[in-house]
Amino acid sequence: MNKNACLLVAMFVLLLVAAMSVVYSKHLNRKYFSELHRLTQVRDAMNIEWGQLQLERSTFATSSEVEKSARRKLNMEQPTNKKIISINHE
């Protein structure tokens, strides 16, 4: 083979390598973009859940909700004056 033929074969091989790297790069780009989209949806769902949990926490933190829960779950009730004992300390 002469010099020009070797050069032509080498350039063709380099062209194939470059083309394959472009195809691989495009494949990775699509793959990572798809993953980004999926993770964005997960983040949005988590943000919605976080907001709902904050709202729920603020609802349950009110004194009336605490009292209702204590009465319902623990059978607690407001003591009568006869049951209240005052202790003085000095």
In tens, the pLDDT along 49-64 reads: 999 999 988 887 787 8
Give the percent of the chain with pLDDT over 90.
57
In tens, the pLDDT along 2-18 reads: 989 999 999 999 999 99
**Range 38-41, long-range pairs (CB < 8 A, 24+ positions):** none
For residue 12, give the nearest of 4, 1, 22 by alpha carbon: 4
